[in-house]
Structure 1
Amino acid sequence: MKWIEIPHDYLSQKSAIQLIELSGKSFCLLWKEDKWIAFSKKCPHAGANLAHGWCEGNEVVCPYHRHRFNLIDGRGAAGQGNYIQIYPLKEVDGVLYVGLKENMWSRVFG
């Protein structure tokens, strides 16, 4: 896993789901209930950008076909049979980092 610093500029925007692109990786970032949540940028159903979706309770709702995903474990609503990735976050000395999996080639040649 590679830990990537999330620039402070992103952390000042707490009003909507943000699409973040760092070090060739993309994910969504959301401020909810006094904490940050990082998750997949694409809906696994039809590939919609979840940054254009919205939250209802503890779920993110896809803007295309209204698929719902739990923001704690990433599971889709009953009957969907899909899920999104929830990425780990950690704070060190006031700096927020997201943990993203590296592909095999990055681990070998990086």
Structure 2
Amino acid sequence: MNSNWMTIGRIDDIPLRGARCVKTPQGKVAVFRTAENEVFAIEDRCPHKGGPLSQGIVHGKAVTCPLHNWVISLESGRALGADEGSVATLPLRNTDGELSILLERRLEAAE
């Protein structure tokens, strides 16, 4: 249902290779902007120890958790490499620079 789209700001509010944390009724969501100007929204909680992914380092289409260096795919929410686990991803749309995320009833990690 399209009525659950929540406007979260403008793409220019997020630095290249940076992130912004957004509070939603479902919890904190990290919105990332890659060096290629792509944007992704994922749950702001590392599947390992709950570290704040929004404070991690963005590289390519992944973020490295600032606590224990787990690398999480911004596209799928899955841990990369030998690590296992995942976080929820949220649909995000960019309409002429205005960003919106689609809120669900609850965040669900990828299977």
Q: Distance between the aligned counterparts of 1:95 and 1:73, measured in 2?
A: 22
Matched residue SS, 1:51: helix
CA RMSD across the alignment: 2.2
How many residues get paired?
Answer: 102
| Pair 1:73-2:76 in alignment | yes
1:14 is matched with which residue? 15
Q: Distance between the aligned counterparts of 1:100 and 1:75, measured in 2?
A: 20
| Pair 1:87-2:90 in alignment | yes
Aligned-pair identity (%): 25
Deviation of the 1:62 alpha carbon = 0.5
Question: What whole-Å deviation, never above 9, does each CA across 1:8-35 have from its counterpart, x for those lacking one?
Answer: 4x74232421111245642011111122
Aligned residue among 36, 41, 48 for 2:39: 36
Which structure is larger by alpha-carbon Rg, 1 or 2? 1
| Structure 2 gap ranges (5+) | 107-111
Q: TM-score, normalised by structure 1?
A: 0.76
Question: What whole-Å deviation, never above 9, does each CA across 1:58-83 have from its counterpart, x for those lacking one?
Answer: 21101111111111111111321201
Q: TM-score, normalised by structure 2?
A: 0.75
Deviation of the 1:92 alpha carbon = 4.7
Task: Name the amino acid aligned to 2:78.
Answer: R
